[in-house]
A and B are shown apart, each in its own frame.
Chain A
Amino acid sequence: MKILKIVIVLLFGSILIYCTLDFPPWGDPRAPASLHVSPRYIEHTMEETSVPNIVTAVLADYRGYDTMFETIVIFTAAIACIFLLRVLRRREPERLMYRHIPTGLTLRIERGFGPPPDSKDFERIDLMWVPYDLIIKTGSRLIVPCSQIFALYVIAHGHHSPGGGFQGGVILGASIILFAISTNLRSSFTRMSEKLAVLLCGLGVFIYAGTGALCIFLGSNYLDYSALSLVLGVDTVTARSHGILMVETGVGISVMAVMVLLYYNLASAGRHDEGL
């Protein structure tokens, strides 16, 4: 059986190698991939959209329809993860662990007994408890706000440097995941609850599709940002640049919420009480 699998893989590989015999040599400027549409994109980006980063201009303006569906795909992945994993009806857990803060004593409460009285001296800790670590908490307390500012910079500066909506959204999501890992998952739920994350997820897609619909209301085609010059009061070239910025903001918000939701559901296996 293993021989058959190796034979299949080798056969497939040799077919692909046979297909590369017709390829142009590596790095040829006259390769057919670079001859038809992309010279037009390279030469006319600056005068039609005034965005120096050609990849961002093509992604959000010339091929904006594809990017809208990509945002919808990642939104669907978050919804699918919620549907697969989330359990709402909570069984009573096997054991809970509480820690008495003044003395450092840990209580382990088995099934059937109630939690200790609600005074401020007891805090709930995870079953696989890691002792309080000063270095990790201080380090992440310094890194999380700085990385969020950097992520906002990446989204806003995507016109002039590598970056854009997707990269900035991932870094924003990663900062929230860092906070959830360094402290525990429950304190991250008090700051960014699941309801807020799902709402932001839909809001991002709504901003993207809504910009396109706004262009229809103003009399032009769907996702044709030059129609926004009527609302914003600038000429068509700058209006396209601002349209790209609006759309990238929508993508960034949606991607941040998706990363946070994926982590919440995977780390707690749907139960949303304890985590990594």
Chain B
Amino acid sequence: MNELISFVISKLNYWVYIALMMIGLYAMIAKNNLVKKIIGMNILQTAVILFFISIGAKTDATIPIIMHGHAGERHAVHAADFINPLPHVLMLTAIVVAVATLGVALALVIKLYQQYQTLEEDEILDQLRNE
């Protein structure tokens, strides 16, 4: 029983991030309004970025900026003292891509509203069927 509790506690963080991802995915699939779908897409993207950043965390380690004295003084740098910087780099690119897709998606929403005068998906499908 103790083993089960310690197992759950060590994995609980990952499960919360997966729950956040599933909230975003549910919003993308099941909501009718287009702007809500875009919000769901962004929630999914930021939850995936959170998942990646949590992989690189280390206990008792500091941020990945090397403390340096005046020029010329170099300490030995151990990899176990610093948080893994590689997921941070990849996730910076992911945030840039997220904001780029957000801009194009909102441009599409404005164009659709100018054409169909509504933002609900079922009303747009009705208008398409009746044309």
Are chains A and B touching directly in their complex (CB below 8 angstroms)? yes
B101 contacts which chain A residues (CB < 8 A)? 77
Check A42–B82 contact: CB distance below 8 A: yes
- Interface size on B (CB < 8 Å)? 53
Cα–Cα, bound, A85→B55 (Å): 40
Query: Does A52 contact B74, Cβ atoms closer than 8 Å?
Result: no
A29-B59, A54-B85 known; A70+B96 contact, CB < 8 A: yes
B92 contacts A by Cβ under 8 Å: yes
Report the separation of the CA atoms of residues A188 and B88 in the bound assembly, to the nearest whole angstrom.
Answer: 35
| Nearest CB in chain A: distance from B11 CB, A | 6
B33 at interface (Cβ–Cβ under 8 A)?
Answer: no
Chain A interface residue number, banded: 35 or more
Contact A26 B107 (CB under 8 A): no
- Give Cα A261 to B74, complex, Å: 45
* Given A13-B19, A85-B110, residue A55 in contact with residue B85 (CB < 8 A): yes
Chain B hits for A10, CB < 8 A: 22
A20 to B15, CA, bound (A): 8
| Beta-carbon contact of B107 and A74 below 8 Å | no
Which B residues are in CB contact (< 8 Å) with A8? 29
- Docked CA distance A21–B7 (Å): 9
State the Cβ distance, A119 to closest chain B Cβ, in Å: 36
Enumerate B47-61 residues with CB–CB distance to A below 8 Å: 54-59, 61
Say whether B97 contacts A70, CB under 8 Å.
Answer: yes
Q: How many angstroms from the CA of A33 to the CA of B110 in the assembled complex? A: 42
A145: chain B residues at CB < 8 Å are none
A69 to chain B, nearest CB (A): 9
* Docked-complex contact B77 and A55, CB < 8 angstroms: no
With contact pairs A13-B19, A54-B65 given, residues A27 and B59 touching in the complex (Cβ less than 8 Å)? yes
B114 neighbours in A (Cβ, 8 Å): 269
* B89: Cβ under 8 A from any A Cβ: yes
Contact A16 B18 (CB under 8 A): yes
Residue interface bits B7-22, CB-to-A below 8 A is 1, else 0? 0001101110011011
Query: B55 contacts A33, CB within 8 Å?
Result: yes
- Once A13-B18, A16-B21 are accepted as A-B contacts, the answer to whether A269 and B57 lie under 8 Å apart by CB is no
Of A42, A63, A85, A266, most B-chain CB atoms within 10 Å: A42
Residues of chain A with a CB closer than 8 A to B56's CB? 33-34
The answer on a CB contact under 8 Å between B89 and A58 is yes
Q: Is the CB of B55 within 8 A of A55?
A: no
CB within 8 Å of B: which A129-165 residues = 160-162
B103-129 CB mask vs A (1 if < 8 Å, else 0) is 110111011001000000000000000
Residues of A contacting B35 with CB < 8 Å? none
User: Which positions 59-80 of chain A face chain B at CB distance < 8 Å?
Assistant: 59, 63, 66-67, 70, 73-74, 76-78, 80
Question: Can you identify 9 A-B contacts, CB atoms within 8 angstroms?
Answer: A13-B22, A34-B84, A43-B79, A53-B66, A54-B82, A58-B89, A74-B99, A161-B65, A166-B92
User: Which residues of A line the B interface, CB within 8 A?
Assistant: 2, 5-6, 8-10, 12-13, 16-17, 20-21, 23, 25-29, 31, 33-34, 37-39, 41-43, 45-47, 52-55, 58-59, 63, 66-67, 70, 73-74, 76-78, 80-81, 84-85, 160-162, 166, 262, 265-266, 269-270
User: Would you list the 7 A-B pairs with minimal beta carbon distance, nearest first?
Assistant: A77-B100, A39-B79, A27-B59, A25-B10, A54-B64, A13-B22, A262-B103
With contacts A53-B65, A162-B65 known, what are 8 further pairs, Cβ within 8 A? Answer: A42-B82, A54-B66, A55-B85, A73-B97, A160-B65, A166-B96, A262-B103, A269-B110
Residues on B close to A: CB < 8 A? 10-11, 13-15, 18-19, 21-22, 25-26, 29-30, 54-59, 61, 63-68, 74, 77-80, 82, 84-89, 92-93, 96-97, 99-101, 103-104, 106-108, 110-111, 114
